[in-house]
Amino acid sequence: MLLGILKETAPGETRVALLPESLKSLLAQGIQITVESGAGIASGAYDQAYTEAGATVTTDRASLLATADLLPLVNASGAADQASLKPGAVVIGFLKPLDAPHALATAIARPTTLFSMELVPRISRAQSMDALSSMATVSGYKAVIAAADRLPRLFPMLMTAAGTIPPARVFVIGAGVAGLQAIATARRLGAVVEAYDVRAAAGEQVRSLGAKFLDVDLGGISAEGGGGYAAELTEEALDRGRDLITRTAAHSDVIVTTAQVPGRPAPRLIRRAAIEAMRPGSVLVDLAAPAGGNCELTQPGVEQNINGVVLLAPLNLPAEVPVHASQLYARNILNFLALIVRKGELSVDLSDEVLAGACVAHNGSPVNPRVAKLLEAATTS
């Protein structure tokens, strides 16, 4: 069996799906591994390191696509790549099956078996494959570092002979995986941190990191969706959060906002008035930008200066920390591969709950019912 590691082609992507250190257990099973030249450079993994680990390096992307039985990726590759895939190949990555299912149509028809890392069920057994959490952890950290870098103030309180500098005040909205890492990072830098989440359960975790949890009375509405996620709120309930956010923004130097509801556009929580209430020089990092953003002024991927307030809306922060983002992602991929590779051969058992949940398409048809519905809607409209 041949496993291929491709150089990612999405603009600004620096991560790689597997690092040289990931290959040992795969090679030990007799799997051949071929790496596209340059695939790991941005993550500090040079071609030579892959060769030394036992892989072959090629510059011939087309023949790698045509011969690989197994292709772990970071992002889905384009239609031209998909058209060259070996029929029956297994492709795994952040395939965006719910955001852009039609972009996978060529690979589905080839046919190939597609697994999406976004769809890996968040159950205990699959925690080691939870690439969304891995990347959210990196994003939460990097958002605070980016904000600290842009802020014209210091984060920690300093008591010097020249006087005392007060600590920066950081407000984190959404205390899920990214938000909690943002809180921890801001606390480590010495900031005073407040956080808000609709899920009351997040309060204890926020407080355990030394931050203050801001509660909103939602008038008895349950904000808990399934699986630890938030539910989509009514406009009235959202408004209560928006009011709290506007009040808190006025004394915050930095806002990191991460609020998301799975499968829905990000809730619009930050009004223009909240930005206008912030001091010039303050920084807002909207980590929900890939889902449209939490701030009504956010333009995904665009940096703005609104009356002196810097609004960052990054689309791929993990790519700015490629070494560790790739390391975490590669471990998630390796753990996933352990479910579909037995003794060096592909063995895909779709009765396995994790594989069934993550499978987008198999044998030429979509397996995931939500993807099937989206594709059907696109062909009938």
Binding site for ligand NAD (CB under 6 A): 122, 127, 130, 132-133, 136, 173-179, 196-199, 202, 228-230, 233, 238, 241, 258-262, 267, 269
Contact between 300 and 292 (Cβ < 8 Å): yes
Contact between 263 and 118 (Cβ < 8 Å): no
Residues recognised as catalytic = 122, 127, 130, 133, 229
Pairing of strands 345-346, 70-75: unpaired
Gap between the Cα atoms of 344 and 333, Å rounded? 16
Nearer to ligand NAD, 64 or 269 (CB): 269
Nearer to ligand NAD, 279 or 370 (CB): 370
Where do runs of H (alpha helix) occur along the chain?
A: 24-28, 47-53, 61-67, 79-83, 105-109, 131-150, 177-188, 202-208, 235-249, 272-277, 322-340, 353-358, 369-380
Nearer to ligand NAD, 59 or 127 (CB): 127
Nearer to ligand NAD, 31 or 131 (CB): 131
Quote the least distance from Cβ 370 to ligand NAD, whole Å: 16
Nearer to ligand NAD, 119 or 177 (CB): 177
Contact between 205 and 175 (Cβ < 8 Å): yes
Nearer to ligand NAD, 32 or 128 (CB): 128
Tokens of 336: 């996933």
Nearer to ligand NAD, 33 or 131 (CB): 131
Quote the least distance from Cβ 221 to ligand NAD, whole Å: 11
What SS3 state is found at 194?
strand
Quote the least distance from Cβ 201 to ligand NAD, whole Å: 7
Q: Which residue is nearest to ligand NAD (CB)?
A: 176
Gap between the Cα atoms of 214 and 217, Å rounded? 10
Burial of 172 (0-12, 13-18, 19+ CB in 10 A): buried
Quote the least distance from Cβ 24 to ligand NAD, whole Å: 26
Token look-up 């790991």 returns 40
Quote the least distance from Cβ 196 to ligand NAD, whole Å: 6
Token look-up 């070494």 returns 323
Contact between 31 and 344 (Cβ < 8 Å): yes
Contacts of 295-302 with CB under 8 Å at 24 or more apart are 295/257, 295/268, 295/269, 295/270, 296/268, 296/270, 296/271, 296/272, 297/270, 297/272
Tokens of 71: 């292709």
Gap between the Cα atoms of 130 and 99, Å rounded? 19
Quote the least distance from Cβ 351 to ligand NAD, whole Å: 21
Pairing of strands 56-58, 169-173: unpaired
Quote the least distance from Cβ 116 to ligand NAD, whole Å: 15
